[in-house]
Amino acid sequence: MTTAEFNAFRGRLIREYAAERVSTGDWAPEQAEDRAARLTDDRLPEGRSTPGMLLLSAEAPDGEPVGTVWVALDQPLRGGAWIFDIQIDPKHRGKGYGRALLQAAEQESARQGATAIGLNVFGANAVARHLYESSGYQVTATQMRKELGEPG
């Protein structure tokens, strides 16, 4: 991942992560982007050169960028490598790039010593869940939430 690709990746990651956390009710909208930026910068203090992190970009055969993946290589509490983010540009989805990028992340993680790899996927993301399940990932935890009405 080049510096320019990293900067675009970081900006997108912060915006999308903040929006996801707001949509699940975890964070208030007015604080979400600041919290997402802090978390991202805490995990990537040296940007694309942060030790123990794998940041890959994918390109179409014509060289057009199609996606990115971010993997933490040593996450003992998570049981090995951990995919923090994988993203395929919407206009390139459904063409096999997501599966290829996922496989590249798995192969490079294994090459660097990881013996397992995990990830989190939001429950409403059925397309991503299908990709992971069809790639051999198994559900290891489920979080659930119910909105309660105002106290009466």
CATH number for the domain harbouring residue 77: 3.40.630.30
Query: Mean per-residue pLDDT for 132-151?
Result: 87
Q: Using CA atoms, how far apart are residues 102 and 134, in angstroms rounded to an integer? A: 12
Whether 111 and 72 map to the same domain: the answer is: yes
Instruction: Look at residue 56 and tell me whether its pLDDT is greater than 90.
Output: yes
Query: pLDDT averaged over the chain?
Result: 92
Q: Which domain holds residue 35?
A: 1-51
Domain end point (choices 13, 32, 51):
51
Instruction: Look at residue 46 and tell me whether its pLDDT is greater than 70.
Output: yes
The helix-helix angle for 97-111 and 126-134 (nearest 10°) equals: 50
Whether 77 and 41 map to the same domain: the answer is: no
Whether 12 and 64 map to the same domain: the answer is: no
Whether 60 and 82 map to the same domain: the answer is: yes
Whether 61 and 9 map to the same domain: the answer is: no
Is 126 contained in some domain?
yes
Task: Transcribe 98-109 into DSSP letters.
Answer: HHHHHHHHHHHH
Whether 42 and 66 map to the same domain: the answer is: no
pLDDT for the residue 75 = 72
Whether 57 and 132 map to the same domain: the answer is: yes
Instruction: Give me the long-range contacts of 119-128 (CB less than 8 A, separation at least 24).
Output: 119/82, 119/83, 119/84, 119/86, 122/20, 122/24, 127/93
pLDDT tens digits, 68-95:
999 999 876 666 899 999 999 999 999 9
Which residue(s) pair with 53 in the sheet?
72
pLDDT for the residue 79 = 62
Whether 34 and 66 map to the same domain: the answer is: no
Contact 81, 118 (CB under 8 A): yes
Query: Mean per-residue pLDDT for 23-46?
Result: 95
Whether 70 and 118 map to the same domain: the answer is: yes
Whether 8 and 37 map to the same domain: the answer is: yes
Stated pTM of the model = 0.84
> Nearest to residue 144, comparing CAs of 127, 124, 126?
124
